[in-house]
């Protein structure tokens, strides 16, 4: 039911059942929020969203107050402004004064609020926090001194990721966010997804910095420094560089990486193609030989750690394929080293990923050859943009270049890995070809596209074989599907799981505070690449054909197993 309310002496439309904040936002009236999270039940904890009821002078929280017919509201009265300013001053009263050195400088909601409400001095002095930095995780750094206790991280970890690694500990002024027994994050169930970083309004949560090591490697003349970039990176950096959101900067990025000083530039979408070759062969093998089904993808390290901790009974269902990052790492320090006359230990291998969990994955003990790590350092998309800025690269004034070859040519199927449903779509294209000897008539599988948390479809692979597939993103959605399977659901044969809602395109290493439109543009850009490019299937990538001919033999060969496959195990004690 629609009705009108009065806001700042003007009539606006409202819909019954909405919160006041929903109504104000829909009508273009901005109200600041901190603890509020779109789509989640409001807690009303921070009170920064207060507005004034005109008739009573009472302050109410817009995020949690239901809109009522005939309401009269003031959103910017002196009382409202003063109240919000006091809240900001209280939050700042014990906040460290290190904005200049903070990684969220100029991208901090608290800093923005201080600016909006003209906080120009520290009027209220609180006791400074003495909390220590938590550097124990391979992926996430926690700085509790910068925490304003909005609890957004706790909610995303619990309600979206179903991990519950962190919570509000203690009471009153002693409250802080922490893990069980307030130990380091590495002793918790944290899966390193970085979604808590994405929602944190301040610099209390950031990724583990690999910058210094990379700068050192680039300056170190004895090392050959190679870099790979994940499928989503080329369409996610534009907005951070002041360009049109979603613009594909692939060629420009290749050139920029060479200007920065990387000796070789490889495209992880090439190993995404390789993953498809191995994974589709594995799926067919399992279906034909009665192996464990449903098979579940294993390219997302956040999901893999979740399975090891929370769903070990599904470990046999995980594909044994390494992720594209790790396949590239393994090939660089074997095949590429060999053809380039380099010793693996003389190669420094960097990857640029949309994901904080890739930092964790890169240092897993399974991801080594003769004690040498396949991946030496991982940069998130955000860190990569900082690297571009540090080296003063003008992305508007640079000629596009191709990635290095081999390991640099991809199909558009490999590129689809960026979007939720992309791995599944790419795998089906190749599995279909392998079983029928001909290509699909239409490569596009619409039910598997979009950002819905759980998508399912039935695919007629051959005349006699129809398979059920599911694509889930967000670990709570994965948990729901796993429950159904445990309870006897039998119609699903292949599942793609990505820990982050919407997949890698909105991974925990992507730009913070991107709006929904930017996200949609990135997704669109990936599908546009798939539409316009001629090689739409992994098995037609000429470099994939060559690497099997010259080096690997065939999918699931002995060599493939050695380099491209791995195994996972139940985690009893939570470490790293
Ligand atoms: S990284 Fe993910 S799992 Fe770990 S605390 Fe943050 S939200 Fe939770
Ligand atoms: S760590 Fe960040 S998201 Fe979590 S409660 Fe503190 S300020 Fe909020
Ligand atoms: S945003 Fe409304 S109470 Fe925090």
pLDDT in tens, 148-176: 999 999 999 999 999 999 999 988 888 99
Is 81 domain-assigned? no
Query: How remote is the C-alpha of 499 from its chain's centroid?
Result: 8
Mean pLDDT, residues 308-319: 98
Nearest listed ligand to the Cα of residue 108: 2
HSE (CB half, 13 Å, CA atoms) of 267?
31
Q: What would the mean pLDDT of 433-456 be, rounded to a whole number?
A: 97
The answer as to whether 84 is a domain residue is no
Instruction: Examine the domain organization and report whether 238 and 344 are in the same domain.
Output: yes
- Nearest atom (ligand 2) to Cα of 154: 4
CA of 139 to the centre of ligand 1 (A): 10
Query: What are the distances in angstroms from CA 53 to CA 28, 80, 85?
Result: 19, 10, 18
C-alpha of residue 446 to centroid of ligand 3, in Å: 38
CA distances from 485 to 50, 424, 474 (A): 45, 19, 17
Whole-number Å distance, alpha carbon 137 to ligand 1 midpoint, is: 10
From the CB of 191, is ligand 1 less than 6 Å away?
yes
Residue 154 and residue 217 in one domain = no
User: Is 309 among the catalytic positions?
Assistant: no
Reply yes or no on whether the pLDDT at 350 is more than 60. yes
Q: Structure tokens of 496?
A: 């793609």
Residues 130 and 233 in one domain: no
Which pLDDT band, with edges at 50, 70 and 90, does 105 fall under?
very high
Is the pTM higher than 0.85? Answer: yes
Q: Choose, from 361, 383, 496, 521, the residue flagged as catalytic.
A: 361
CATH code, domain with 124: 3.30.70.20
Range 310-314 average pLDDT? 97
Which of 190, 207, 224 is the last residue in one of the domains?
Answer: 207
Does residue 176 lie within any of the structural domains? yes
How far away, in angstroms, is 507 Cα from ligand 1 center? 12
Determine if ligand 1 sits within 6 Å of the CB of residue 393: no
Q: What is the CATH number of the domain that holds 20?
A: 3.10.20.740
Domain for residue 149, yes or no?
yes
Would you say residue 354 has pLDDT above 60?
A: yes
- Same domain, yes or no, for 171 and 262? no
Residues 251-274, mean pLDDT to the nearest whole number: 98
pLDDT at 320 over 50: yes
Residues with CB under 6 A from ligand 2: 147-153, 177, 199-202, 204-205
- In this structure, the answer to whether residues 351 and 426 fall within a common structural domain is yes
Same domain, 194 and 152: yes
Burial class from Cβ neighbours inside 10 Å (0-12, 13-18, 19+) for residue 242 reads exposed
pLDDT at position 575 is 47
Question: Is it the case that residue 576 has pLDDT exceeding 70?
Answer: no
Residue of the CA atom closest to atom 2 of ligand 1: 193
172 and 226 share a domain?
no
For residue 297, the enclosing domain spans 212-564
Which of 207, 235, 258 represents a domain boundary (last residue)? 207
Going by pLDDT thresholds of 50, 70 and 90, the confidence category of residue 125 is confident
Query: Is 502 a member of any domain?
Result: yes
Residue nearest to atom 8 of ligand 1 (CA): 157
CATH code of the domain containing 546: 3.40.50.1780
Span 173-182, mean pLDDT? Answer: 89
pLDDT greater than 80 at residue 130: no
Which listed ligand is nearest to 195 at the C-alpha?
1
Which residues, 6+ apart, have CB-to-CB distance to 60 below 8 Å?
20, 50, 51, 52, 53
392 shares its domain with 307 = yes
Phi first, then psi: what are they for 97, rounded to 5°?
-95, 50
In a domain, 86, yes or no: no
Q: Which residue has the tokens 């193609």?
A: 273
Residue 574 within a domain? no
Query: Read out DSSP for 152-216?
Result: HHHHIIIIIT-----EEESSGGG-EEE-GGG--GGGS------HHHHH-SSTTEEEPP-HHHHHH
| Residue ending a domain, choose from 207, 234, 251 | 207
Residues 124 and 167 in one domain: yes
Ligand nearest to the CA of 356: 1
| Span 350-362, average pLDDT | 98
CA of 51 from ligand 3 middle (Å) equals: 11
Residue 192 CB less than 6 A away from ligand 1: yes
| Residue of 137, 236, 280, 319 with catalytic role | 319
Centre of ligand 2 from the C-alpha of residue 100, in Å = 19
* Domain assignment present for 158: yes
Residues 57 and 123 in one domain: no
Together in a domain, 489 and 340: yes
- Which atom of ligand 2 has the smallest separation from the CA of 34? 8
- pLDDT, residue 458, reads 97
For the chain, how many structural domains are there in total?
Answer: 3
CA separation for the pair 514, 198 (Å, rounded): 9
Q: What is the Cα 231 distance to its own chain's centre?
A: 12
218 and 202 in one domain? no
Over residues 379-431, the pLDDT tens digits come to: 999 999 999 999 999 999 999 999 999 999 999 999 999 999 999 999 999 99
- Our mutation pick for probing the ligand 2 site, out of 92, 103, 146, 147, counting the most ligand atoms within 8 A of Cβ, is 147
| Average pLDDT of every residue of the chain | 96
């Amino acid at each position: 039911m629609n009705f009108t309310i009065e806001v700042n002496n003007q009539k606006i439309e409202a819909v019954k059942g909405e919160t006041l904040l929903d109504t104000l936002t829909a009508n273009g009236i901005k109200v600041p929020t901190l603890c509020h999270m779109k789509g989640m039940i409001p807690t009303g904890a921070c009170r920064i969203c207060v507005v004034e009821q005109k008739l009573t002078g009472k302050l109410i929280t817009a995020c949690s107050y239901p809109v009522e017919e005939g309401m009269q509201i003031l959103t910017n009265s002196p009382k409202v402004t003063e109240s919000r300013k006091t809240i900001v001053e209280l939050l700042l009263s014990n906040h460290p004064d290190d904005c200049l050195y903070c990684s969220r400088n100029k991208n901090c909601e608290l800093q923005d609020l201080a600016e909006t409400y003209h906080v120009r001095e520290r009027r209220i002095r609180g006791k400074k926090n003495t909390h220590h930095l938590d550097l124990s995780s391979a992926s996430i750094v926690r700085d509790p001194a910068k925490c304003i206790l909005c609890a957004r991280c706790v909610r995303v970890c619990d309600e979206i990721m179903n991990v519950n690694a962190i919570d509000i500990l203690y009471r009153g002024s002693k409250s802080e966010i922490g893990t069980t027994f307030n130990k380091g994050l590495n002793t918790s169930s944290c899966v390193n997804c970085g979604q808590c970083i994405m929602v944190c309004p301040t610099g209390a949560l950031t990724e583990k910095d690999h910058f210094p090591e990379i700068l050192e490697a680039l300056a170190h003349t004895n090392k050959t420094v190679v870099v790979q970039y994940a499928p989503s990176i080329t369409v996610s950096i534009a907005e951070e560089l002041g360009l049109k959101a979603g613009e594909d900067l692939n060629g420009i990025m290749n050139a920029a990486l060479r200007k920065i000083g990387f000796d070789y530039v490889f495209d992880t979408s090439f190993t995404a193609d390789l993953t498809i070759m191995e994974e589709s062969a594995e799926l067919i093998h399992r279906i034909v030989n009665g192996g464990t089904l449903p098979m579940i993808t294993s390219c997302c390290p956040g999901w893999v750690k979740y399975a090891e901790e929370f769903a070990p009974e599904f470990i046999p269902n995980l594909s044994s394929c390494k992720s594209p990052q790790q396949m590239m790492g393994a090939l660089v320090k074997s095949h590429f080293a060999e053809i380039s006359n380099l010793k693996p230990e003389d190669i420094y291998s960097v990857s640029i990923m949309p994901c904080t969990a890739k930092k964790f994955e890169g240092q897993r003990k399974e991801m080594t050859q003769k004690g040498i790590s396949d991946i030496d350092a991982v940069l998130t998309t955000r860190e990569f943009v900082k690297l571009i800025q540090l080296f003063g690269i003008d992305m508007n004034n640079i000629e596009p270049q191709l990635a290095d070859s081999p390991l640099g040519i991809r199909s558009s199927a490999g590129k689809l890995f960026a979007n939720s449903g992309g791995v599944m779509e790419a795998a089906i294209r190749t599995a279909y070809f392998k079983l029928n000897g001909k290509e699909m008539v239409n490569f596009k599988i619409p039910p598997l596209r979009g950002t819905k948390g759980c998508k399912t479809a039935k695919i007629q692979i051959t005349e006699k074989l129809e398979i059920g597939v599911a694509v889930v993103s967000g670990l709570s959605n994965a948990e729901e599907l796993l429950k159904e399977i445990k309870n006897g659901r039998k119609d699903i044969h292949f599942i793609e799981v990505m820990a982050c809602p919407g997949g890698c395109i909105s991974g925990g290493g992507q730009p913070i505070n991107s709006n929904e439109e930017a996200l949609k543009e990135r997704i669109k850009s990936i599908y546009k690449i798939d539409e316009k490019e001629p090689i739409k299937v992994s098995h037609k990538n000429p470099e994939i054909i060559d690497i099997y001919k010259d080096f690997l033999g065939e999918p699931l060969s002995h060599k493939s197993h050695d380099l491209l496959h791995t195994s996972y195990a139940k985690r009893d004690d939570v470490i790293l």
